[in-house]
Structure formats: C-alpha cells, structure tokens
Chain A
C-alpha cells in the first residue's frame, strides 16, 4: 500500500510539472497579454517596451519558465496584477479555497444522497414510471448547461419567489465570526445559528446548480450497476440462503454496485471544479471559480497560474484518495 502511494505521488508530481509547462506556454500565447492589461488605454509603445523588459517578458520563454519554477518552489507565485492587485497570488487561492470546498462538498453530498438511493430504486423498478421519470430527469440534468441552470434557479427562487438570496455567501453586515472560512461550519462551531442559517441559504442555490451534473451521472451509474449486480450469481446465492432483503441489498448488491460509483465520484470532482467556475460567477459566490473567471478577464497570470495548478493538485489528490478507497472496498484490487 505504501509503495502504491509513493508511486502514485511521483506520478502526480510528474503530471503537475508537465501541466505547469503547458500552462505557462499557453497563458503567454494568449492575445492581449499582461502589458496591455496593466497599461490599459494610456499605453504608448515606449512604456510598453519598458514594462516588458522590467517584467522580464523579453527573455526567451524557457528562461521565464525557469524563473517561475524557482520562485514557485519557494511558494512564491508572484503578485496579482488584476482585481486583487498587490496580494500574493497564493494568498488569493487560500482565501478563496474554503468557499469552494464548502460549496463542492455540499453539492457532492446533495448529489450522492439523492442519486444513490434513487438509482437503486429505479433499478429495482426497471421500466416502471419512477424509473422512466428519473432517467429522463437525469438526461435533462446532463444536457442542461450548468450556467443556464444556475440562472434559471436564481431567477425563479431568488428573483421571482424571493425565497433565497440571489448572490454572495452571507448577508453583508451579519454578525458572524469566521474561523475556517467555511461559513456554515463557522456558524455551527461558534453557535451563531443565525449566521449558519444565513450562509446555508446562500449555499443552497449554487450547490443545487453545481450538483446537477454529478447527480445525473452518479444516478445513471448506480442504476446501471445495480441492474448488473442483481443478475449476478452471488445475488442468487444470497437469495437461496434465505437472507433478509436488507442484508441482500446492503451486503450483496450495494457493496458491489458502489465500486463503479466510487470511480465516477472521483472523476466528478474534476467536473465539480469546472462547474464551480460557472456557478460561482452566476451567484457571485466568492470562491476559486469566481476568482478564476475574474482572473481571465484581467489577464491576471499569477493568479490564474496558481489557481489552475492548485485545482490540478486537488484533482490529482482526490483521484489518489479514490484509488485508495477502491482498494478498501474491492479486495481483488488490494491483493494484486
């Protein structure tokens, strides 16, 4: 197991290195560029040239990359030159991480708690109205773009009905102490129930929008896996033993059916990060996704670099965890 983790970590490092090279080259090949973003309308060719050489942008790309890498290894990803001007890029990431983590975890919990039981029931009543209905529903869930769903949810529940707040993470000026910067958790930890409830209401719509795709995919995988597993000989053996329906469902059907679900959940974490960019933008939810969107508009390279690299790191770590979880639930993987 330890060897497995070490090997996977080395693979992860290699992947990160390759990504950093590609990212670096790609960001610098974008039209516009940092100089015009910094100087704006007032830039003359002369100050542009001066700024370019001051920033080291005249050096060959590999020299620039080497400089970037040396600093990055010391934890210095440069300073934001966009909206967060003056702040170290890495700080922007860490300030905004808790919001996105809170949103993603909540969205994933929503998706899992709805999709797995529904997938099981749909499989058991295959072809029935509930099954057909939820399959269509999940197709819609995959097909509708996240930002569109986000706007619809916002329009209906926030603008028209006014049940939930349309944007932000917490009502401005509410009395709230922040420890972890996950606002719902903070409210619970400090027993500031009003603050927790307020943060929860802000979280609900973005989380629903963000959960739509993972929900749809996990539902379909669960349903397909349960249908497959129910036909397996060992389920027949379990029934031949006269076991109760509960034991058959939990021990013999779900324990096997969840193996493919775990893989998909891992992959969906990546989709969640992508979805967070759009959802956070629509709901002005101050997380990594929103920072990424803003960073793009302003060509804020240091911030973009650090956010994308960190997102990739999170993605790789989550997949490592998924592989470990895999070994835990499937003994055939463990002993290989």
Chain B
C-alpha cells in the first residue's frame, strides 16, 4: 500500500513558489522475492528553496537510504527504487547517468557522516576540493586550486594554502568535516543533503560544525536536508521536521510545533530520551523501550505498536495512514497514528545547538 501524495505543507521562509525538491512515494527495496526488505516505504516530502528540512529517526529507519536514493548513490545492484524524485522540475530517478552526474556536486551536494573515511586518504586535500570545481565550473587546475583555498578559508580552515597540500590524516576530525563541507558547497548547490554530519565528532566540534552549516546555508540560500537521529540538531537547525519510523514518515510538523506538542508516541519517546541539563541529578534517562527488531510489518498495523505505551487494539489490526492532524498546535501537521499523545506540551526545547554560536 502506498500513501496518498500529500500536497505541500508550506513554502519556506523566503517566499512562495515551486518546491525545489519534491519526493513522491519513494520506495527502496533491498533484495527480492520473499527476502525483500523495504527500507523506505512510500516517503513523500518537499523541500523549498532555502528551507531546512529534517529527517529524523533511529538507525535503520531509512533516513540515509532516502538521501542516497535521491542522489542516485545506492549501490547499483540488489535494490529497487520506486516513486519520483523531482528536482527543479526534472525527475532524478529516470534521468540518464551522465545528466545526473552533471547535477551531482553542482546542483545537489552531499556531506557524509564519517569525515575520515569519506575523504580519499592518498589524494591531497587541495585536489579533492579543486576537482569538483574543475568538473562543474570548467576551471583549470590552478584557478580551481585558488577557489579551493578561498573555500577552505570560508569554512574556517586556517592557513588554507598549506592545508591544500596536506592529506586527510594530517587534519583533525573537525577540519575534515569542514573540508567536506567546502567540497559540497564549492559549486554553490541549490540543495545540500547532510547525512548525520556531526555524529562522528566531539560534542564541542559538533556545535561548531552545525553553526557553520547554518551560517553557510542561510548566507547562500541553499536548501538543506538534515538527516539525524539527534533531536538536538533538529532543534537548532530545521524549519520542518519529518520523523521516520521503519521506512515511513510517522509525523511531520514545523520544528517549534513538534517540540511543543509531539503527537506520535515515537516522537514523544525521542524527545523524552534527550538528557536535560536542569533535571535533578541521578535521574535515569528514559529511552524508547524495545528496538526495531520488535516491529510488526506495516501491513499488519502500526510498525511501532509493540514498543508503544499508547498502543491500543486497533494499532495491531489496521495500518495507520498519514493524515493531516488538526488537534495539535501548529498548521499543516501530518500524523500517522491511531492513538496519538494528547496535547501535553513537553516543557522545553533543547537549546544546546542554538546556543552553540
């Protein structure tokens, strides 16, 4: 079964207009036959120019696979991608490989989770930044190197001319992620996909990197898809948040609305599991009980039901659909739940990331 296409919630802050990226009924299946596993199951969302959209969920919920499918970067064999991904009016999924290559890195760029393994260990940093400039802007080697140096400076890497000659292992983790951001933004893409860009970094560095990303995308008007399991990241960065569970969107809301009144019990659980500073010491964290291995298939009801404190009988009998949710704070909310949380606001929004700068 597939979800109904949902018309856009709202244009981004900088004005109305067409969605830059429009994902419709995106489905990614690994394997085939009886062993087939549907990692992404009918996901719809839009990203407007300049907007920052969060895809949030725990490991295995399909958020990274969604981003790789949009970029056409899933490994060639063993998977089937269905649905439509429209970028600036063109379907990326049916586009010939060479045309897609022209757009990757120029119009749509991506940064990855582990900055060390995402950089080529045997190629100087300068070449790795300059090659994307050479490729898409048609610059020669030396001009591209100069632009690369300027780009490194822009992302806060000191002494860029020296760094250009260095190799990834000579840089710190934060520097590496800055370098990856420099590569991704070198051609001023209209959309940047950041897949857990801070997960592999120290907490202090995380805050710096998020602040940098926020500054750069707002400065250049680049739209951003932020993929994370960390609601703290969402709180500091995103305009709109999609919560994914077992390959489907279970809740969508504007950031403030989501933090004020989470409606899906899974969202509520994610929020409750964030450690808070001004809580009495010694109190245990409240994790979401169980794990994804407890899921039931969506066909038999709500995949989250076995882990859900709010689950009622209907949750195990009838598949919930993603429908507009008018009972909560905020407009254009979507919810996939038979028995949502009542509008009982969580007391505060984690502000760690917002304070970072």
Contact surface of A with B, Cβ cutoff 8 Å: 232-234, 236-244, 247, 251-252, 255-256, 259, 329-332, 335
B119 to A234, Cβ gap below 8 A? yes
Residue from A236, A242, A329 having most chain B Cβ neighbours under 10 A: A242
B229 at the interface (CB under 8 A from A): no
CB proximity of A256 to chain B, nearest CB, Å = 6
At the interface, is chain A mostly helix, strand, loop or mixed? helix
A64 to B167, CA, bound (A): 55
B112 at the interface (CB under 8 A from A): yes
A335 to B103, Cβ gap below 8 A? no
B139 at the interface (CB under 8 A from A): no
A335 to B169, Cβ gap below 8 A? yes
Which single member of A234, A251, A255 contacts B118 (CB below 8 Å)?
A: A234
A251 to B104, Cβ gap below 8 A? no
Which single member of A240, A256, A259, A332 contacts B105 (CB below 8 Å)?
A: A240
CB contact under 8 A between A256 and B132, given known A240-B110, A241-B183, A242-B103:
no
CB proximity of B219 to chain A, nearest CB, Å = 21
What 6 pairs across the A-B complex have the smallest Cβ distances? A242-B105, A242-B104, A241-B105, A233-B117, A331-B167, A234-B120
A–B complex contacts, Cβ < 8 Å, 6 sampled: A233-B114, A234-B121, A241-B104, A244-B135, A330-B121, A332-B122
Number of B positions contacting A (CB below 8 A) = 31
Which A residues are CB-close (under 8 A) to B136? 242
A256 to B106, Cβ gap below 8 A? no
Which A residues are CB-close (under 8 A) to B114? 233
A247 to B131, Cβ gap below 8 A? yes
At the interface, is chain B mostly helix, strand, loop or mixed? mixed
A233 to B112, Cβ gap below 8 A? yes
Residue from B103, B104, B121, B183 having most chain A Cβ neighbours under 10 A: B121
CB contact under 8 A between A240 and B122, given known A331-B167, A332-B167, A332-B169:
no
Contact surface of B with A, Cβ cutoff 8 Å: 71, 73, 100-106, 109-110, 112, 114, 117-124, 127, 131-132, 135-136, 167, 169-170, 180, 183
A243 to B105, Cβ gap below 8 A? yes
Instruction: Specify the chain B residue showing the minimal Cβ separation from A231.
Output: B75
A329 to B122, Cβ gap below 8 A? yes
CB proximity of A332 to chain B, nearest CB, Å = 5
CB contact under 8 A between A239 and B169, given known A233-B117, A251-B131, A331-B122:
no
CB proximity of A232 to chain B, nearest CB, Å = 7
B104 to A239, Cβ gap below 8 A? yes
B180 to A237, Cβ gap below 8 A? yes
B118 to A242, Cβ gap below 8 A? no
